[in-house]
A and B are shown apart, each in its own frame.
Chain A
Amino acid sequence: MSNLFTLEFITVIIRLTTPILFASLASFAAAVTGIGNIAIEGIMTMSALFGIIGSNLTQSAVLGTLIGVLIGVVIAMSIAFFSMRLGANAVLVGIAMNTFSSSLALFILYQFTGEKGSSASLLAPTLGSWNIPVIKDIPILGTLLSGHLVLVYVSVILALLFYILTYKTPLGMRMRACGLNPDAAKTAGINVQRLQVLSLIFSGIFAALGGIYLSMNYGKIYVNGIVAGQGWMGIAANGVANGSYGLLLIAALVFGAFRAFAIKVNIPRFGDLVGAVPYFAVFVTIIALAIINTIKVKKGNVAEQ
C-alpha cells in the first residue's frame, strides 16, 4: 500500500491514463459532430500492429508511427464511407470493425511473423521518452513533468489543441453545431457530412495514437490482445463527460488512476478482484450519472434528453 503515496505513483497514473485519454479524445472527436464511433478498440488494435510492422519495414519509429496513424485514418474513413455513403448503421459498422480488426490483426501478425502471440520476432525501433532540459533537474517538478514517454506529451498537446479547435475556432463551432442540431446546421449552410467525415478522421488519428502508444512507446512489442478494453474505457469516459471537455479529461484521469491502483495494489488472494476495479469503476460511474440525471429531470432542472 505504501507505494501508493509516492511521486512515482503519479507518474504511473500518467502512463496508464495516456491510452485512455487518447481513446476518450477519439470518442469525443466523433461525438462532437454527432457520430458515435465505437470502433475505437478496433482502430487501436490495428494501429498498434501496423505501427510495429511499419517500423519494422522502414526501420524508423517515426515512419512506423505515421503508418499506424494512416491505418487509423483509413479505418475511420471506411466507417464514414459505410455509414454515410452506403447508409449503414454507424453502430453496426463499428461493431463489425471491432470484431473484424481483432481477427484481421491476428491474421496479419501471422502472415508477417509466422506467430500468433506477439511481434517478438520483428526488429522494430520504438519511440522513447523525453527529458526536458532544465526542468528535469528541479526536484519534484522534474519527476512530475520530465522524463515521460514521448506520446504522453503528444497526448497532452493534442488534448489542448483539440480543445482550442473545438471551442475557439469557427470550424469547431460549426462542428459542434452539427452535433447539436444537424438540420439547423444544414439550414445555416454548413456541409454537415464533410464536417462529420473530418471529425471521424480526428477520431481515427487519436485512436491510432492510443494503439501506437501501447505497442511502441509504453510497451515495445505488439502482443495479441494488447488493447484490452482501453478503447471501450475511452468511450465510457466520453459517455460520462456527456459533451463537457473538462469532465472528459477528468474521467480519463480517474479511469487511469483506477487502473494504476489495480496494478500497484497487491492483495494476495484478491488480485483478480482488484484487477476488475477499473472496469467496475466505469460501470458504477455511468449508473451513478444516469441516476443523477434522472433526478435532475424529475426536478425539472434539465430538459429531458
Chain B
Amino acid sequence: MKKLLTILLVVLMAFSFAGCGKEGEGDTPKPADDVKKVVVLLPFTGDNSYFDTLARGVETAKTQFAGKVEVELVEVGNTQEKATWDAAFDEYCEDGKYDLVVSGNNSYEEFLFAAAKRYPDQMFMNFDYSSLPEGWTEIPGNVYCVTYALDDLGYVVGALSAALTKTNKVGVVVGMSNQAMDQFIGGWCQILEAQGKEYYVRYASDKVSTGFFANPGVGKEITDDLVKAGCDVVWQVAGGTGAGVIQSCAENGVWAVGVDQDQYAQFIDTQPDWAAAIVTSALKNSDVALVECIRLLSEGKFREKLGKSEAWGIALNGVGIAENDYYKEKVPADIQAAVKDTLQQVTDGKVEVVDTMEMTPDQWQQWHDTNTTKY
C-alpha cells in the first residue's frame, strides 16, 4: 500500500513538472504583435449592478474587437485584503504579457496604484477613480483614471424630481456617508436649493460588519419617514438597501428613482408593483469608458491618455437617466423636454455643478449648513 502511494506520488510530481514545462513553452511565442491583451480585474460579478455593467463591457469589447484585442475578465474575490490583490496584480503584471491591466474603484484603487509602482512599464487603467490613495501626490505616468460625472447626474435627477414633486418636498436615501457617495447628491442638492424645494438627505446609517448596502429593512424605515415628512419623489443611492426604498415608495404611492442600472427593467418581472413606482433610474454606465479605452488601445492611441484622470460625463455617455417607455408614458412631455434641456446645459458646461469630490468634507458640510438641507 505504502509503495503504491509512493509510486503514485512520484508519477503525480512528474506530471506536475511536465505541466510546468509545457506552460512555460507555450508562453514563449508571444501572440502576434498586433493582438493586444487586456485583463480586467474585478472583485466579483453578479451584483446585478455596477460590476455586472463592467462585465457586460468586457463582453462588448470581446466581440467588437475580436481578432484585434483579447480581453480577459478575472474575479479576484470579494475581499479588500491587500495580500490577495497584490498577488492578483503580480500574477498579471509580472511577465508583461498583458498590454493593459484594468481595475479600480474607490475600494480597490490603492492596490492598483501599488501595482503601478511595482511595475512601472505596465499600463494600467482605473475604471472608476475616486481619489489618490495615501502616499500619492499625483497619478503615476503609467495609469489612466476614469471618473464619472456623478455630480452632473445628480443635478439632472434633481431637476426631474423638482419638476415631478407636487408637495415641493423630495428626498434621497444614501447608502453610506462618505465623499464618494456624496458626489451623487451634490448637484441634486444644488438644483433643489436653487428651485426652492425642500430636500431631505438621509444616510442608511445602520452599518454592520457584513456591509453597508445590504439592508432593505433600513431603507424602508427611512423612506417611510421621508414620505411621512411629505416627500413624494425619493431617489435611492443605496444598492441593496435601495430595494427597501423602492418597496416603501410603492406601498406609499410616491415616485422612486433608481440608480446604476434601469431598475424598472430589473423589477418589472418579479415585483411589478415596485417597478410601477420607479419613474426612471440614474444610470452610471461604467462600461462605456472601458470599451472606449480598449478601442483606443487597439488603435495604439491609449498611451497618450496615461498619467491623468478624465471625467466621463453625459456627453460621453458615462452617465444619464433611463428614458424607457414607462418614463415616456408617465412623465408629462413638458417635463421630459425640460429634463432634456437640463441635460444639454450640463453637457455644454453652462451650469457649474457642485462637485463634492473637489471639496474638502468641511467645505461640503459648510455648503449644507448655509443652505436649507434637511436631514
Contact = CB atoms under 8 A, between A and B. Distances in A.
Given A219-B247, A271-B177, A263 B206 contact: yes
Interface class of chain B by DSSP: mixed
Contacts of B214: 223-226, 228
Interface residues of B, number: 43
A207 interface: no
B240 interface: yes
Given A220-B271, A271-B203, A275-B207, A263 B48 contact: no
B187 interface: no
B177 A114 contact: no
B121 interface: no
B304 interface: no
A223 B205 contact: no
B247 A220 contact: yes
Interface stretch (A118-126, A130-138, A172-180, A234-242): A118-126
Contacts of B52: 115
B281 to A, nearest CB: 13
B46 A219 contact: no
Given A118-B243, A120-B270, A275-B207, A263 B47 contact: no
Given A117-B46, A269-B365, A218 B208 contact: no
Interface string B196-210: 000001110111111
B208 A279 contact: yes
Interface in A240-270: 259-260, 262-264, 266-269
Contacts of B243: 118, 120, 219-221, 223
A271 B220 contact: no
Contacts of A263: 205-206, 218, 221-222
A12 B225 CA distance: 11
A3 interface: yes
Nearest to A114: B46
A115 B209 contact: no
A123 B52 CA distance: 21
Nearest to A270: B205
A189 B220 CA distance: 52
B49 A264 contact: no
Interface string B205-236: 11111110011111011100100100000000
B270 to A, nearest CB: 5
A219 B270 contact: no
A82 interface: no
A8 B202 CA distance: 19
A262 B48 contact: no
B177 A272 contact: yes
B47 A117 contact: yes
Contacts of B211: 224-225, 228
A219 B248 CA distance: 10
B205 A121 contact: no
Given A117-B240, A120-B267, A229-B210, A223 B216 contact: yes
A116 B217 contact: no
B247 A116 contact: no
Contacts of B244: 219
Nearest to B201: A268
A62 to B, nearest CB: 19
25 contacts: A12-B221, A115-B47, A116-B46, A120-B48, A120-B267, A120-B271, A121-B48, A124-B270, A219-B220, A219-B243, A220-B271, A221-B247, A223-B215, A224-B211, A225-B211, A225-B240, A228-B210, A228-B211, A229-B209, A264-B221, A266-B375, A269-B177, A272-B207, A275-B205, A276-B207
Ranked nearest first, the 8 interchain pairs of A and B with the lowest CB-CB distance are: A271-B205, A116-B46, A225-B210, A275-B205, A225-B214, A223-B240, A117-B47, A219-B216
